């Protein structure tokens, strides 16, 4: 009985060896598939492996405000992009063109009285350049040109005028590094020499763009013939990386505590309250 078991074991192992010899598909060598981030070098026929997986090669500038941590080899991503400063602070931003925002500000002649201005961002134009306005092209950038228009038509403004809002230009993503407070230069179309205006750097999809420009046009105010409606408006000209969606124009009402905080040296983004309107300029 004992011998029978031995014979059985021997014959089973002989059969196994014979099978391996005749059916090894990789006798003539494995068919290697190179190692990847997650798999070692592997034979596509028998599944044999050699070495270890390469591991991901994370792009050094990721994560950034647009991209999550990203592997340069396989494009796998991990986590989320960095959180924008405005989002981190929970500051609301408006994005809708031609939407009307009512902002209450003191009257000019009698600051104990207030008037309601109806503001809207309007007339977005996108251009590479505009010779008539003196807006120069730059490779990889575009100009966004739009109007901030305010309509006053109440009793108080007719009698006492308006003080309006203080505008601040900022960056939605990286506010502290880009345009915390006074982004922008006054601009007279066709007259201001662009060589003399300030530049700032935006990072967009990993690349730095150092030739960004933010220009505030002059205000123009005009009453209608009946003296019942005053339209106050100005144009804003921004040169940013093509497609960039992170410029913010904040409107801070005159008479607001926010302006006192700014005078005391606080950062704009740390001072904004819910009477301010923050408009995020998203090109469409
Ligand atoms: Zn093989
Ligand atoms: Zn990878």
pLDDT above 70 covers a percentage of the chain that reads: 91
**Contact of 142 with 240, CB cutoff 8 Å:** yes
How close is the Cα of 73 to the center of ligand 2, in Å? 5
pLDDT digits (tens, 9 = 90+) for 37-53: 999 999 999 999 999 99
How close is the Cα of 29 to the center of ligand 1, in Å? 7
Q: Which ligand is nearest to the CA of 42?
A: 1
Q: Which ligand is nearest to the CA of 46?
A: 1
Does the pTM exceed 0.85? no
d(CA 185, CA 182): 8
Mean pLDDT for 138-144 is: 97
Tokens of 8: 């059985």
Would you call 10 helix, strand, or coil by DSSP?
A: helix
Mean pLDDT for 211-232 is: 93
Which pLDDT score is estimated for 4?
52
Q: Which ligand is nearest to the CA of 36?
A: 2
Residue 90 region, left (φ>0) first, then alpha (ψ -120 to 50), else beta?
left
Mean pLDDT for 186-210 is: 92
How close is the Cα of 72 to the center of ligand 1, in Å? 29
How close is the Cα of 35 to the center of ligand 2, in Å? 11
Which pLDDT score is estimated for 178?
87
How close is the Cα of 209 to the center of ligand 2, in Å? 27
How close is the Cα of 144 to the center of ligand 2, in Å? 37
How close is the Cα of 29 to the center of ligand 2, in Å? 28
How close is the Cα of 17 to the center of ligand 1, in Å? 17
CA–CA–CA angle 12, 14, 17 (5° rounding): 115
How close is the Cα of 234 to the center of ligand 1, in Å? 72
Mean pLDDT for 143-161 is: 96
Which pLDDT score is estimated for 5?
53
Q: Which ligand is nearest to the CA of 28?
A: 1
Question: What is the chain's Cα-based Rg?
Answer: 32
Bond prior to 63 in cis (omega within 30° of 0): yes
Q: What is the mean pLDDT of the chain?
A: 90
How close is the Cα of 47 to the center of ligand 2, in Å? 21
Q: What is the DSSP letter of 135?
A: B
pLDDT above 90 covers a percentage of the chain that reads: 82
């Amino acid at each position: 009985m004992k011998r029978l078991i031995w014979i059985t074991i021997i014959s089973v192992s002989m059969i196994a060896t014979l099978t391996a010899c005749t059916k090894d598909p990789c006798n003539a060598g494995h068919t290697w598939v190179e190692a990847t981030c997650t798999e070692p070098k592997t034979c596509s026929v028998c599944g044999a492996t050699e070495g270890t997986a390469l591991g991901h090669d994370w792009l050094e500038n990721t994560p950034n405000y647009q991209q999550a941590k990203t592997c340069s080899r396989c494009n796998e991503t991990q986590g989320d992009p960095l959180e924008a400063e405005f989002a981190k602070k929970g500051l609301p931003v408006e994005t809708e063109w031609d939407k009307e925002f009512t902002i209450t500000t003191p009257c000019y002649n009698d600051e104990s009285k207030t008037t309601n201005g109806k503001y809207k961002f309007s007339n977005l134009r996108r251009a590479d350049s505009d010779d008539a306005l003196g807006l120069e092209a730059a490779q990889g950038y575009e100009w966004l040109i739009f109007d901030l228009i305010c309509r006053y038509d109440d009793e108080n403004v007719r009698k006492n005028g308006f003080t309006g809002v203080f505008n601040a230009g900022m960056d939605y993503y990286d506010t502290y590094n880009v345009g915390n407070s006074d982004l922008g230069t006054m601009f007279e179309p066709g007259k201001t020499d662009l060589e003399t205006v300030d530049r700032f750097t935006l990072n967009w999809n990993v690349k730095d763009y150092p030739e960004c420009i933010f220009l505030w046009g002059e205000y123009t105010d005009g009453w209608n013939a009946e003296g019942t409606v005053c339209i106050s408006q100005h144009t804003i000209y921004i040169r940013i990386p093509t497609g960039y969606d992170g410029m913010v124009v904040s409107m801070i009402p005159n008479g607001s505590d926010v302006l006192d905080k700014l005078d005391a040296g606080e950062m704009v983004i740390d001072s904004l309250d819910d009477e301010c309107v923050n408009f995020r300029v998203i090109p469409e």
